Amino acid sequence: MVAKIEHKNRTGCPVACSLDIIGDHWSLLVIRSLMFKGVHEYKDMLKEEEQISTSILTNRLKKLETEGLISAMTHPESKRRKLYYLTEMGKDLLPMMTEMVLWASKNLSELLAIPEDLKALLNNDPEQFIQLTLQTIEDWEEQYLN
């Protein structure tokens, strides 16, 4: 079995607690796919540019589900497919993710591939970027949930 991830260092510190849940190389990439890229299926997550392996992806999906950040349902078109989506707790990470992107945009710009118009929106009106992203997520929810 793939190693399970535990809360080893959990102290009362909010940063430490957060890192126990999302402080690894892959969890936030999964969150990113769900949050910004509209990627909701296992197979599509495997296809992402960063090339996560099957064992790690399964492990992280389970962990994120256990922690309450994501949830899963059977795809309405097929029983063999699953749709993963962010819970409220997962969606609450949007401001933090946005700040991370802003930080990268400012400090790692030479490494990044962000379209100019998106970059402009991010820097000029991050709050609107958040609202637009949230709207996209809610549109998806309206289509697939309930």
Q: By CB under 7 A, how many residues form the interface with DNA?
A: 30
By CB under 8 A, residue 11 contacts a second copy? yes
- Binder of residue 72, out of a second copy, DNA, none (CB less than 5 to 8 A by kind): DNA
Residues 21-80 that bind DNA (CB under 7 A): 24-26, 41-43, 51-56, 58-59, 61, 72, 75, 77-80
* In contact, 83 and 41? CB cutoff 8 Å: yes
Q: Which of residues 44-73 bind a second copy (CB under 8 A)?
A: 49-51, 68
* Alpha helices for 1-146 (secondary structure H): 14-22, 27-36, 42-47, 54-67, 88-91, 94-107, 116-124, 126-144
Is 72 exposed, middle or buried, given 0-12, 13-18 or 19+ CB atoms closer than 10 A? middle
Using CB under 7 A as the criterion, which residues of the chain lie in contact with DNA when the complex forms?
1-6, 8, 24-26, 41-43, 51-56, 58-59, 61, 72, 75, 77-82
